Chains A and B, each alone.
Chain A
Amino acid sequence: MALIETVGLKKIYNLGGSVIAALDGITTNIEKGEFVAIMGPSGSGKSTFMNLIGCLDKPTAGRCFLEGMDIGCLNRDELAVIRNKKIGFVFQSFNLLPRTSAIENVELPMLYSGLSPLDRKLRARKALKMMGLEGREEHLPNQLSGGQQQRVAIARALVNDAPLIMADEPTGNLDTKASEEIMELFVKLNEESHITVILVTHEHDIAAFSKRIIRFLDGKIVSDEKRSRP
């Protein structure tokens, strides 16, 4: 069974008369353990696709299965549970809570899965350590560099043992060196922990870390190639 399976996924925006098909019938499969890069020009629907399979948004038409479960049939709270347990998000703009320490940011998903305060602390500490952020636990986001902030965000995505990480241009705000560090972390997670990684990027250097590249154009898939990592 595929981890993600979409069938004719559509997202139509209706903006004051003009109809925009952000996604125009996407049918694809992503297996467990894959490392997928999604590429395509701006406005081609990459983010829209990520939001739909990430249970953050609802499709206009078509279906999307996660571990065989039709997520179109789930209510808000059931979707929240899936986001909490199955998916770790990494955003271009980090999306850490301001004025909240690194460790508390990492604890956030566990707050909603009902772990005890002690367990939360321990696991958050471990996740930060894994991201090479030992000793930075009490730092606020504005006291960290962009690369460090993104690593806090990855720690937050991992802390609930999500089998799937979805990253929408995770290196978009970082310089080359920090970008490579982040990508190496993703590769490590993918290879050592068998975590499925789906990431959106504009840069070929970044896409080069992946094992499969799906290209979007005008809401459709124009190419889908599997490759081996160099």
Chain B
Amino acid sequence: MINLAATVKISLRALKINKMRSALTMLGIVIGVTAVIIMVAIGSGARERVSRQISSAGSNLLVVVPGSMTAGGIRMGFGTQANLTTKDAEAILKECPAVWDVSPEVHGAAQVVFGNQNWSTAITATTPSYLNVRDWLLDDGRNFSDQDIRNTTKVCIVGQTIVENLFAGQDPIDQIIRIKKVPFVVIGVLEAKGQDLMGQDQDDMILIPITTGRKKVFGSLRPDMVRSIIVKTVSTQELPQAETQIQELLRQRHHIGPKEEEDFTVRNLTQMLQMAEKSTRIMTMLLGAIASISLLVGGIGIMNIMLVSVTERTREIGIRMAVGAKVRDIRLQFITEALILSMIGGAIGIIMGIAGAKLIALLTDWSAMVSLPATAAAFGFSGLVGIFFGFYPAYKASLLNPIEALRYE
């Protein structure tokens, strides 16, 4: 039987005798725990961002763009060739059974003016199906109609960033804005969506009917031509089928021989995003693992110091044994010391880790998310490190021969 409070008291005294040494040993654990918390926070921040992007990009999407990608890499920049048309989009919807909806689009940047305010933004000229395809909702107003497309009506739907910067709090519906000097009536407002995978603000955009865009805004384009076609399938399972169906259909429509290279590329957006999510998850794990190594190194530091301590205090161990300390009393003593070192180090590490993650989030545009499980795990792990690396020195101390320990010089 041994009194735990007394053991802790003895340990604290022993650690206090070598303040500098104890502090440096603790520092190893502090750095380890801090690193684990910050790394995991950065990793989970990135993951959180990607999964938000997945939901804002819309699900089950393929994107067809002009130009081909060969095994040697990108032969021609995507979208530099003008060979995708509205007809292609219509054919995809009609003839590919795996496809649920399509939305052709033309996009570009333009100066937008409202009153005396002006703003440079991205203009996407597209069809009414665009909102359905991207799983976007309107905050206010209405979508385009097929009639708007047929009549090349000058109407537009604006994103939240436009509302903030151009309208400054006014209700934008039914207001008239000028896009490249052409007046458009605002008929709808998009809901807020945040940034996309590349860090681009998805709210900084204006949607206009594709026909109007071609005629009035992007004047120099071939009639009928589109920059890309977004394709939506009913579910994720149908994405590969839709991809082959589109490839076959477009090869046929573009008269591409079996040996020839495609003049278009089908990109699986959902797959890309899922891959991005997977890679951020792997990154989080990797960062955590690398940080854990520093925790392990901190543990080895504890073991090192405890071994030195056992040697230095051999005589003390001998005295304790002579007055009746049992094997487990001696072990408990040294494990308690290692545990105190690692737990105090762990606690300081948690504080520094949380502060560090907050600071990184503040100073950079990375989002760092401190996760409670990771913090608890890092603290628990530091405790385990203390026990694990404290055990061998404690074991060594407990097996000393009392008389040799007493005689130790």
Interface of A toward B, CB cutoff 8 Å: 51, 56-57, 76-77, 80-81, 83-85, 89, 91, 95-100, 108-109, 111-114, 116-117, 156, 160
Contact = CB atoms under 8 A, between A and B. Distances in A.
A142 to B, nearest CB: 14
A81 B326 contact: yes
B319 interface: yes
B341 to A, nearest CB: 19
Interface stretch (B126-134, B218-226, B400-408): B400-408
Contacts of B1: 112-114
B325 A80 contact: yes
A56 B327 contact: no
A97 B316 contact: yes
B3 A111 contact: yes
Closest 10 CB pairs of A and B: A84-B324, A114-B1, A109-B323, A112-B324, A56-B403, A57-B403, A77-B326, A80-B326, A56-B402, A83-B324
B322 interface: yes
Given A56-B402, A112-B325, 19 more contacts: A51-B403, A57-B403, A76-B326, A77-B326, A80-B326, A84-B324, A95-B315, A95-B319, A95-B322, A109-B323, A109-B324, A111-B2, A111-B3, A112-B320, A113-B1, A113-B324, A114-B2, A116-B3, A117-B5
Nearest to A78: B326
Contacts, number: 70
A99 B9 CA distance: 13
B2 A112 contact: yes
Contacts of A98: 316
B17 interface: yes
Given A57-B403, A99-B13, A83 B2 contact: no
B326 A112 contact: yes
Contact of A112 (B17, B315, B329, B406): B329
Contacts of B3: 111, 114, 116-117
Interface in B295-320: 315-316, 318-320
8 contacts: A56-B322, A76-B327, A77-B326, A80-B321, A83-B321, A111-B2, A114-B2, A160-B324
B6 interface: yes
Interface of B: 1-3, 5-6, 13, 17, 315-316, 318-329, 401-403, 406
A85 B324 contact: yes
A37 to B, nearest CB: 21
A84 B6 contact: no
Contacts of A113: 1, 324
Contacts of B13: 99-100
A81 B17 contact: no
B324 A97 contact: no
Contacts of A96: 319
A57 B319 contact: no
A114 B406 CA distance: 23
A57 B324 contact: no
Contacts of A114: 1-3
B326 A156 contact: no
B326 A89 contact: no
Greatest chain A CB density within 10 A among B322, B325, B326 is at: B322
B55 to A, nearest CB: 60
B401 A112 contact: no
Contacts of A83: 321-324
Contacts of A109: 323-324
B323 A84 contact: yes
B409 to A, nearest CB: 11
B309 to A, nearest CB: 14
A116 B5 CA distance: 11
B237 to A, nearest CB: 66
A156 B17 CA distance: 24
Nearest to A83: B324
A84 B324 CA distance: 4
Contacts of B5: 117
Contacts of B318: 95
Contacts of A112: 1-2, 320, 323-326, 329
B323 A117 contact: no
Nearest to A109: B323
A144 B315 CA distance: 20
Contacts of A117: 3, 5-6
A80 to B, nearest CB: 5
A113 B326 CA distance: 10
A160 B321 CA distance: 15
Contacts of B2: 111-112, 114
Nearest to A52: B403
A65 B401 CA distance: 21
A112 B316 CA distance: 15
Give the interface centre of B13, B318, B324, B401 by most chain A CB atoms within 10 Å. Answer: B324
A160 B17 CA distance: 29
Nearest to A111: B6
B312 to A, nearest CB: 11
B193 to A, nearest CB: 64
Contacts of A76: 326-327
B119 to A, nearest CB: 73
A176 to B, nearest CB: 27
Given A77-B327, A81-B326, A114-B2, A108 B406 contact: no
Nearest to B323: A109
A11 to B, nearest CB: 11
A51 B13 CA distance: 30
